[in-house]
């Protein structure tokens, strides 16, 4: 997600801001920019890294004691110089940096266009900035009041910092839903200085006195004085606390590793990927990429899903979901195989390309070939503006934020949520499911972020389980129906994080050979939550127990039957079997993580692996 840094005090501001942006690089970004205020407001920004921005600054006069900088993770508008932050208002007087999503920006933009405003970018940020300017001009009020009025109309999440060329000794900031930390320091002359940032990593080397700004609060820093207010213009008493985290820990949000941080982000990322799309009360799903091409999608003669690795596992689950709900034939292909064989592609075919990075070479080439043969390409991508998102005819972003850990976790569950939304929209349009089933799934999908939060409470017990099984040489992961691809994903996580050989299999396939592997040293992880295959998987567990296999079972709350048969159990919240993979995967992610830690593995950067396989 985006990173913001600002400084106002007596020191040279630009070195502090640029260094601060580098401290935030771990958050993932695609462009960077800086605004300086010294009589005049100057903005430099470009697509690329902070180092690329610094190159453009070489030789320029960067003298200023007020500056703010931004690293952008694109959500609206692809990565480009013009979409980078800071943005400047139409009258040139204001500059703003923003982290978050303004959900009603299209409404605000149309009002402004109607008033004659033009825009230099595709971002929601520029819309909000001109909305603030418009209010200030029309109401004849100050910037602080204009911001307060504007924020009362805004829906979505934001942390923003504003500069006003006419008030060079002031910064105004506000937050709702995205983090903002303010450091209060003293420079070498004992003068108060303020540091603002998305987290404490750009601040901690200057001061440990910080304020964590809360939702719906504004901060006005002027002439060395900080005032904290709410949107009702009431002055609040800031709670200043002492920061006790070290830099490395701050970058990981206090977690020991990015992988664990990202596993624990899943309730929020599941909420974010559904935000603005699912309204379970109204019973509506909004997804422009589907709506604008609904004819092509609902009339598809078949859907071919193309992906690699974990994304391919998401494709397998999507196959079950789409065929059940939409009654459209689905095939799931490894991109690396699809690109080299001579697949039959018909004009009415729809290709769904699933990719976290949007840069996986095999997937890019595979969909390029399909596109040449007339297929319609729909991308389910996490990285906005990535290659696959640009090749696709349409798509939906998963909005899981940057995934730093090499093992994909939060992106996977976000893919499942988005693919479910796509299937539900097509099925609803086709009339291939009842309204009762449709509304029931919307209601259950709405509960998933909270149920994911409950599932994460298993962390400590799964860490204990990991200690028990960390010395296993092999492992089997078994599931049926929707839980079969979950078994594959659990096995992949264990392999790539702990280097233990693991295989995922349909549980019923054991008797066709793999059961020969079973003995009293082999852990067999069953993904066996209550679903239409439940009674069958109970038999499969009995087959393993009869051969002295060690059974670890992921089960639904209250399932005493399997609990009595198993050596260890992981109890997850109940949900519709179609949504169960989202929850059932989480304990398997945690199991792989904790076994990897117990074995001393580098869980964020496993050996031999890259985060994005951009070569074949
Ligand atoms: C996931 O844990 C793996 N690191 C890997 O399989 C990954 O899913 C695969 O390389 C596909 O990447 P993509 O989703 O960025 O296309």
Q: How far apart are the CA of 408 and the centre of ligand 1, in A?
A: 6
Residue nearest to atom 4 of ligand 1 (CA): 407
Residues 58 and 44 sit within 8 Å (Cβ to Cβ): no
Residues 108 and 156 sit within 8 Å (Cβ to Cβ): no
Domain membership of residue 529 as a residue range: 454-602
Atom of ligand 1 nearest to the CA of 406: 4
Residues 29 and 402 sit within 8 Å (Cβ to Cβ): yes
130 domain-assigned: yes
> pLDDT at position 211, please?
94
Q: How far apart are the CA of 407 and the centre of ligand 1, in A?
A: 7
Residue whose CB lies within 8 A of the most ligand 1 atoms, among 259, 309, 419, for a mutation test? 309
What residues act catalytically?
A: 2, 611
Say which CATH number the domain at 120 has: 3.60.20.10
504 domain-assigned: yes
Atom of ligand 1 nearest to the CA of 611: 4
Burial tier of 205 (Cβ tally within 10 Å: 0-12, 13-18, 19+) = middle
335 domain-assigned: no
Q: How far apart are the CA of 292 and the centre of ligand 1, in A?
A: 28
Phi, psi for residue 125 in degrees, rounded to 5: -65, -45
Of 197, 225, 245, the residue that ends a domain is 245
> pLDDT at position 447, please?
98
150 domain-assigned: yes
Q: How far apart are the CA of 611 and the centre of ligand 1, in A?
A: 7
> pLDDT at position 196, please?
98
Ramachandran area for residue 253 (φ above 0: left; ψ -120 to 50: alpha; else beta): left
> pLDDT at position 614, please?
67
Q: How far is it, in rounded angstroms, from Cα 35 to Cα 69? A: 6
Residue nearest to atom 6 of ligand 1 (CA): 309
pLDDT tens per residue, range 210-226: 999 998 999 999 989 99
Atom of ligand 1 nearest to the CA of 613: 10
Residue nearest to atom 9 of ligand 1 (CA): 309
Say which CATH number the domain at 458 has: 3.40.50.10490
CA pseudo-torsion sign 528, 534, 538, 539: negative
Atom of ligand 1 nearest to the CA of 407: 2
Atom of ligand 1 nearest to the CA of 408: 2
Q: Any alpha helices (H) in 215-307, and if so which ranges?
A: 247-251, 258-264, 266-274, 288-291, 294-298
Q: How far apart are the CA of 584 and the centre of ligand 1, in A?
A: 19
Q: How far apart are the CA of 128 and the centre of ligand 1, in A?
A: 35
Q: How far apart are the CA of 612 and the centre of ligand 1, in A?
A: 7
Q: How far apart are the CA of 334 and the centre of ligand 1, in A?
A: 12
163 domain-assigned: yes
Distances (CA, A) of 561 to 417, 419, 465, 556, 576: 30, 32, 20, 11, 20
Of 245, 269, 297, the residue that ends a domain is 245
Distances (CA, A) of 423 to 295, 438, 441, 447: 14, 11, 11, 18
Q: How far is it, in rounded angstroms, from Cα 576 to Cα 482? A: 10
Atom of ligand 1 nearest to the CA of 409: 2
DSSP 259-275: HHHHHHTHHHHHHHHHT
436 domain-assigned: no
Of 210, 245, 280, the residue that ends a domain is 245
DSSP 173-194: EEEEBS--EEEEEE-TTS-EEE
499 domain-assigned: yes
Residue whose CB lies within 8 A of the most ligand 1 atoms, among 305, 306, 307, 310, for a mutation test? 310
Atom of ligand 1 nearest to the CA of 493: 2
Question: How many other CB atoms are there within 10 angstroms of residue 52's CB atom?
Answer: 12
Pocket of ligand 1 (CB under 6 A): 308-311, 355-357, 360, 363, 406-408, 496, 612-613
pLDDT tens per residue, range 429-478: 999 999 999 999 999 999 999 999 999 999 999 999 999 999 999 999 99
609 domain-assigned: no
Give the chain's residues under pLDDT 50.
none
Residue nearest to atom 5 of ligand 1 (CA): 309
3-state secondary structure of 550: strand
Q: How far apart are the CA of 310 and the centre of ligand 1, in A?
A: 5
Residue nearest to atom 16 of ligand 1 (CA): 355
Using alpha carbons, select from 610, 61, 75, 103 the residue that is nearest to residue 359. 610
Q: Which residues make Cβ contacts (< 8 Å) with residue 249, sequence separation at least 6?
A: none
Residue whose CB lies within 8 A of the most ligand 1 atoms, among 259, 352, 356, 415, for a mutation test? 356
Number of domains in the chain: 2
Residues 222 and 249 sit within 8 Å (Cβ to Cβ): no
Residue whose CB lies within 8 A of the most ligand 1 atoms, among 317, 352, 359, 360, for a mutation test? 360
């Amino acid at each position: 997600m985006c990173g913001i840094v600002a400084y106002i005090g007596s020191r040279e501001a630009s070195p502090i801001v640029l260094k601060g942006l580098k401290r935030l690089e771990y958050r993932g970004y695609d462009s960077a920019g800086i605004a300086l205020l010294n009589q005049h407001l100057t903005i430099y920004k470009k697509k690329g890294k902070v180092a690329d921005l610094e190159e453009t600054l070489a030789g320029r006069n960067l003298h200023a004691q007020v500056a703010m900088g931004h690293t952008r993770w694109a959500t609206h508008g692809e990565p480009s110089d013009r979409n980078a932050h800071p943005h400047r208002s139409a009258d040139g007087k204001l500059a703003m940096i923003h982290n978050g999503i303004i959900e009603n920006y299209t409404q605000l933009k149309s009002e402004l266009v109607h008033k004659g405003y033009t825009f230099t970018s595709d971002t929601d940020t520029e819309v909000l900035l001109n909305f603030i300017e418009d209010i200030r001009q029309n109401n004849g009020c100050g910037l602080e009041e204009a911001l307060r009025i504007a924020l009362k109309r805004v829906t979505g999440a934001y942390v923003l910092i504003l500069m006003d060329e006419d008030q060079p000794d002031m910064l105004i900031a506000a937050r709702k839903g995205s983090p903002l930390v303010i450091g209060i320091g003293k420079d070498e002359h004992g003068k108060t200085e303020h540091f603002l940032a998305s987290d404490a990593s750009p601040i901690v080397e200057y001061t440990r006195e910080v304020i964590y700004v809360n939702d719906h609060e504004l901060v006005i820093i002027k002439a060395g004085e900080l005032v904290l207010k709410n949107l009702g213009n009431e002055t609040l008493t800031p709670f200043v606390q002492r920061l006790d985290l070290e830099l490395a820990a701050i970058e990981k949000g206090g977690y020991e590793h990015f992988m664990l941080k990202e596993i624990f982000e899943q309730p929020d990322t599941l909420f974010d990927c559904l935000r603005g799309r699912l309204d379970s009360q109204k019973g509506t799903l909004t997804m422009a990429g589907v709506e604008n091409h609904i004819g092509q999608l609902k009339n598809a003669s078949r859907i071919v899903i193309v992906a690699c690795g974990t994304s391919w596992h998401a494709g397998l689950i999507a196959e079950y979901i789409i065929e059940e709900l939409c009654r459209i034939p689905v095939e799931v292909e490894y991109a690396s195989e699809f690109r080299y064989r001579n697949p039959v592609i018909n004009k009415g075919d729809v290709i769904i390309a699933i990719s976290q990075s949007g840069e996986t070479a095999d997937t890019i080439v595979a969909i390029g070939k399909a596109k040449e043969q007339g297929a319609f390409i729909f991308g389910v991508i996490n990285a906005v503006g990535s290659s696959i998102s640009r090749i696709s005819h349409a798509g939906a972003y998963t909005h899981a934020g940057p995934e730093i850990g090499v093992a994909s976790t939060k992106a996977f569950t976000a893919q499942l949520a988005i693919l479910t939304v796509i299937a539900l929209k097509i099925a609803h349009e086709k009339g291939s499911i009842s309204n009762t089933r449709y509304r029931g799934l919307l209601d259950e999908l709405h509960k998933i972020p909270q149920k994911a939060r409950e599932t994460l409470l298993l962390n400590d017990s799964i860490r204990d389980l990991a200690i028990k099984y960390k010395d296993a040489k092999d492992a089997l992961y078994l599931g049926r129906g929707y839980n079969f691809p979950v078994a594959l994903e659990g096995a992949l996580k264990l392999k790539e994080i702990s280097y233990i050989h693991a295989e995922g299999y349909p549980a019923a396939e054991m008797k066709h050979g793999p059961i020969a592997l079973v003995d009293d040293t082999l852990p067999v992880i069953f993904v066996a939550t209550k679903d239409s295959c439940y009674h069958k998987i109970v038999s499969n567990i009995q087959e393993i127990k009869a051969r002295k296999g060690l059974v670890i079972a992921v089960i639904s709350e209250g399932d005493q039957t399997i609990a009595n048969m198993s050596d260890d159990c992981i109890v997850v919240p109940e949900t519709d079997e179609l949504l169960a993979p989202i929850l059932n995967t989480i304990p398997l992610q945690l199991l792989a993580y904790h076994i990897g830690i117990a074995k001393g593995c580098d869980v964020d950067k496993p050996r031999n692996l890259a985060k994005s396989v951009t070569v074949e």
